[in-house]
Amino acid sequence: MAIARVVVIDDEPNLIKFVSQNLRARGYDVTDAANGLEGVERVREYSPDLIILDINMPGMDGFEVCSYVRQFSDAAIIMLTASGHEGDKIRALDLGADDYLTKPFGIGELMARVRAVMRRASAAQTRNARQPEVRSGDLVVDFEHRRVMLKDAPIKLTPTEYTLLEQLVTRPDTVLSHRELLSSVWGAEYRDETEYLRVYVGRLRRKIEDDPANPRYILTEPGVGYRFDPGARV
């Protein structure tokens, strides 16, 4: 099994040391950066599997780094912050973060989050689907090559976005509950984190729907969950 690569980006030397040492002790290959600009360069050079990224940094903050990195990397991202504000959490997820952790935190909690995001990324890469692809209107989900196309143009998805879409399209016309989707995509420990699901469904709709406010593929079943509408099959 390949050793997972991690980039830790934070302006607090003690936190970098704490996180990096604990990751290395558990077999991860770790490099770090002390500010946002340096962090972006580390990600470009290192092509990590996971980025642990602080929000509150001088200059280029974590939100900016996350937004910029998502233009060229689908690495899993865990955001760190001293703020527990719901707005910061939603903004981080909306920009492409996979998870969010409030300081101070224990190593047990951090490693649980690391295992969860790495598990999702691994599942998205290796899961074998029962069918080679799903076609619905202008949307094609090619499971064999892990590729999503809309109107013959490739759609770039993060591992978590892809796994969520896969859960929906492989069970068309089936209402999947919030808890079922959260447990299947994020893990059982996330089954009550409905905000994660709402944000990620919004992200998927912006990528695959012509009109995200009036979706054609991913439909909301109020108070229950979501359903993929295959419409007229091609």
Under 8 Å between Cβ of 53 and 78: yes
Strands (E), 34-167: 50-54, 76-81, 99-102, 133-136, 139-142, 147-150, 153-154
Mean pLDDT of 214-232: 91
122 and 138 assigned to the same domain: no
> Three-state SS for 135?
strand
103 lies in a domain?
A: yes
Same domain for 157 and 178, yes or no, is: yes
pLDDT tops 90 at residue 3: no
User: What tokens were used for 212?
Assistant: 């995200």
- The per-residue pLDDT for 230 is 87
Asked if residue 133 lies in contact with residue 141, where contact means CB atoms within 8 angstroms, the answer is yes
Interval 82-127: pLDDT, tens: 877 778 888 999 998 999 999 889 999 999 999 988 887 776 555 5
For residue 223, what is the domain's CATH number?
Answer: 1.10.10.10
Which tens digit of pLDDT belongs to each residue from 26-41?
A: 999 999 999 999 999 9
Residue 233 lies in a domain: no
Average pLDDT, integer, range 7-19: 95
Q: Are residues 122 and 12 in the same domain?
A: yes
Asked if 112 and 80 touch (Cβ cutoff 8 Å), the reply is no
Q: Which residues of 190-216 are buried (b: 16+ CB within 10 A; e: fewer)?
A: bbebeebbebbbbbbbeebbeebeebb
The reported pLDDT for the residue numbered 125 is 58
Does residue 58 fall inside a structural domain?
yes
Number of alpha carbons in the 13 Å side-chain half-sphere of residue 151: 4
Note the pTM of the prediction, 2 decimals: 0.79
Judge whether residue 128 has pLDDT over 70.
no
* Domains held by the chain: number: 2
- 152 and 77 together in one domain: no
109, 126, 143 - which closes a domain: 126
Q: Are residues 34 and 106 in the same domain?
A: yes
For residues 23 and 73, membership in a common domain is answered with yes
146 and 55 in a common domain: no
* 221: enclosing H helix or E strand: strand 218-221
What is the CATH number for 40? 3.40.50.2300
Range of the domain at 47: 5-126
Element containing residue 9 per DSSP (H, E): strand 5-9
Shared-domain flag, residues 146 and 115: no
Domain finish residue from 65, 96, 126: 126
Residue 233 has pLDDT above 70, yes or no: no
142 and 66 co-located in one domain:
no
User: 86 and 183 share a domain?
Assistant: no
Give CA 91 to chain center in angstroms.
13
Which pLDDT value is given to residue 217? 95
Q: Is residue 20 domain-shared with residue 41, that is, in the same domain? A: yes
Q: What is the pLDDT of residue 234?
A: 40
| Same domain as 109, residue 138 | no
Of residues 2 and 195, more confidence is placed in 195
